[in-house]
Amino acid sequence: MGEGAVADEELTKEKHADELFKDFREVSITEFFRKNRAHLGYSGKVRSLTTIVHEMVTNSLDACEEAGILPDITVAIKEKGPEHYKITESDNGPGIPAAHISDVFGKMLAGTKFHRNIQLRGQQGIGISGVTLYSQMTTGKPMRIKTCTGDNKVVDIQLLIDITKNKADIIETKNYEEYWRGTTIEVEVKGVLYNLSEQGPFEYLRRTAIANPHAKITFIDPEGRKTVFDRSTNEVPKPPSEMKQHPKGLEVDDLVNMAKASKSRHVSSLLSTELSRVSGAKVKEIQELVSFDLNKNPRKLAWAEAEEIINAFKKVDFMAPPLEGLRPIGEGQIKKSVLSILNPEFETTLTRPPKVHSGGVPFQVEVAVAYGGKAGRVAGEGVKAEVMRFANRAPLLFDAGGCGITTAVNGVEWKRYGIKDFENSPITIFVNLVSVHVPYTSAGKQSVADDDEIIKEIRFALMDLGRRFQRFHSRRRRAIEQEARLNTLLKYSMELASAISKLIDRDKEQEKIAKDLEKFIREKVKFDEELLGDAESEEELTEAELEEVSEEEEDKTEI
């Protein structure tokens, strides 16, 4: 082949490559989620409807709590046609300033939560704008938002999302005066389905009420039936405080970006003022572990130098992160809500001490076990075990199989605690994961990642409650045995009294002898029961339980 032919072939290749890239262009985040809506939780008729309710309610709860308002939320679902519904959600929250409405509802990755190291239900700034997107994708109709911040000036706006620009497309705006404060959202969607399954909106709101006893939630279903989940406490949870990042949770890229945006004049002051638990003494320790002067300008920090600092963090012992950014429900409040809704024979709750995951992200685990009564879930003619998963008080109804909470629950040997057939027991397990950053497996926020620290904490908590249930179960079993023994003895006491009266030739005293026998039997059974109670208090744990308790105590010591 000649040189000219080779040149022509090379030119052909170059033209072919240009042809491949002629459609190369930037894709907006909105366009991405329009084609990948399953990432947002819209991947099934029932799930999609529940996801819409979830996004609306979590925003309302967060807004009310941050403003110190007892939430009063109403959700109404009206059927417009086959698989076609209108969803209206309203709250008594602080309202939304007019200047921010278009960004809140009409722009992806915009909000007040993602950039703050604080415990909130929403984290990504995608949820409610995702509802707007799903509505216009299925019906072509805009979302309607009516809001007032308490100044009696109501903004009533309808908007869509401009897919290519990732911003709101305002359809209509009205302004008028009304004595009212709060926000009402209204959307229409198709291709969804309402039912009373465990993944439906009713169950979502029921569980939300359990985890948020301070909230009043009213639900009106498509048939017009009204259900009110009333609040069991009038105490608004104290809003969490924003926290600085802990050095153990930082990566090199985090530190580099932090240095570029910092207003500090020295790297040393950046570390001590913008990170948690980094004192002047710790800065000196870090200085001894790096090869450059920490007094340099942060904006001149090189990647290799940032790597040195991150490696130094791993060698320095820091205090655990502060906990002002965490707000658990509390054992007392969980017990109130569980009792009011499940009315169980046995219930117990536990809030574990805070720990950290992913190096330095603080989290806390709350668990409860309810047995008997309305605990468990009805399945056919029987009752199945029910696992209620929550993250920052928000119910997780989907993707249970791939959730770290499910892994932790299944990792407990329930037979050891007297629950021989866990799956078919009238038991409800409640688990709430509290964290400034919940490691969700997807943007749909319905499943927690299999993080070792989190799974370990949940298991420890459930094992503790398992031991409490075992004691309750043992006492109840002994009480049943004692009652059966007493009834058997009393059954034969009359025949024994008759025989004794004949033996001693006192037939007329048979009734008195029978009463004396009954009194003797009851005193003896009561005496034996007290002995059994003493024996229980001295009962030793099994070898396997001792290993678990030892592991748990060792973990506490490390923290």
pLDDT (0 to 100) of residue 150:
85
Yes or no: say if 92 and 184 are a contact pair by the CB < 8 Å rule: no
Q: 457, 446, 435, 439: which is closest to 240 by C-alpha?
A: 435
CA 304 to chain centre: 38
Is the per-residue pLDDT at 319 higher than 50? yes
- DSSP per residue over 307-330, as a string? HHHHHHHHHS--PPPPSTT-----
Report DSSP state, residue 550.
H
pLDDT (0 to 100) of residue 500:
74
Cα dihedral across residues 278, 282, 284, 288: positive or negative = negative
pLDDT (0 to 100) of residue 225:
95
pLDDT (0 to 100) of residue 71:
95
Instruction: Please measure the distance between the N-terminal and C-terminal CA atoms of the chain and give it in whole angstroms.
Output: 74
pLDDT (0 to 100) of residue 429:
94
Structure tokens at 438: 């919940």
Instruction: State how far the Cα of 398 lies from the Cα of 204, in Å rounded to an integer.
Output: 11
Task: Tell me the pLDDT tens digit for each residue of 20-42.
Answer: 556 655 556 566 656 566 667 68
Q: Which of 153-162, 327-336, 379-388 has the highest mean pLDDT?
A: 153-162
Q: Which of 235-249, 379-393, 402-416, 500-514 has the highest mean pLDDT?
A: 402-416
pLDDT (0 to 100) of residue 70:
95
- 């420890």: which residue's tokens? 460
Task: Tell me the pLDDT tens digit for each residue of 134-154.
Answer: 889 899 999 999 999 988 899
Q: How far is CA 109 from CA 106, 134, 147, in A?
A: 10, 16, 21
Q: Going by C-beta distance under 8 Å and a sequence separation of 6 or more, which residues neighbour residue 382?
A: 424
Is the per-residue pLDDT at 189 higher than 60? yes
CATH entry 1.20.120.330 includes domain 331-452: no
Instruction: State how far the Cα of 289 lies from the Cα of 282, in Å rounded to an integer.
Output: 11
Instruction: State how far the Cα of 309 lies from the Cα of 303, in Å rounded to an integer.
Output: 10
pTM of the model: 0.73
Yes or no: say if 555 and 460 are a contact pair by the CB < 8 Å rule: yes
Identical topology for domains 31-229 and 247-315: no
Is the per-residue pLDDT at 59 higher than 50? yes
Average pLDDT, the chain: 81
Yes or no: say if 204 and 53 are a contact pair by the CB < 8 Å rule: yes
Instruction: State how far the Cα of 18 lies from the Cα of 7, in Å rounded to an integer.
Output: 17
Q: Is 446 left (phi over 0), alpha (psi -120 to 50) or beta?
A: alpha
Is the per-residue pLDDT at 156 higher than 70? yes
For the residues 352-362, what does the mean pLDDT come to? 80
Task: Tell me the pLDDT tens digit for each residue of 391-438.
Answer: 988 899 888 888 999 999 999 999 999 888 999 999 999 999 998 888
- 């008759």: which residue's tokens? 498
Percent of the chain scoring above 70 in pLDDT:
78
For the residues 298-318, what does the mean pLDDT come to? 92
CATH ID of 247-315, from 1.10.8.50, 3.40.50.620, 2.30.110.10, 3.40.640.10: 1.10.8.50
Q: How far is CA 529 from CA 57, 345, 425, 525, in A?
A: 51, 21, 28, 6
Percent of the chain scoring above 90 in pLDDT:
40
- 């709250």: which residue's tokens? 91
Instruction: State how far the Cα of 112 lies from the Cα of 171, in Å rounded to an integer.
Output: 25
Question: Which one has a higher pLDDT value, 228 or 43?
Answer: 228
Q: Going by C-beta distance under 8 Å and a sequence separation of 6 or more, which residues neighbour residue 425?
A: 371, 376, 383, 385, 419
pLDDT (0 to 100) of residue 188:
96
Instruction: State how far the Cα of 184 lies from the Cα of 73, in Å rounded to an integer.
Output: 10
For the residues 106-114, what does the mean pLDDT come to? 56
Superfamily of domain 31-229 in CATH is Histidine kinase-like ATPase, C-terminal domain (3.30.565.10)
Instruction: State how far the Cα of 75 lies from the Cα of 56, in Å rounded to an integer.
Output: 9
Question: Which one has a higher pLDDT value, 229 or 496?
Answer: 229
Is the per-residue pLDDT at 258 higher than 80? yes
pLDDT (0 to 100) of residue 535:
37
pLDDT (0 to 100) of residue 149:
92
Instruction: State how far the Cα of 162 lies from the Cα of 141, in Å rounded to an integer.
Output: 13
Is the per-residue pLDDT at 130 higher than 60? yes
pLDDT (0 to 100) of residue 473:
73
Question: Which one has a higher pLDDT value, 484 or 405?
Answer: 405
Domain boundaries, the chain: 31-229, 247-315, 331-452, 471-558
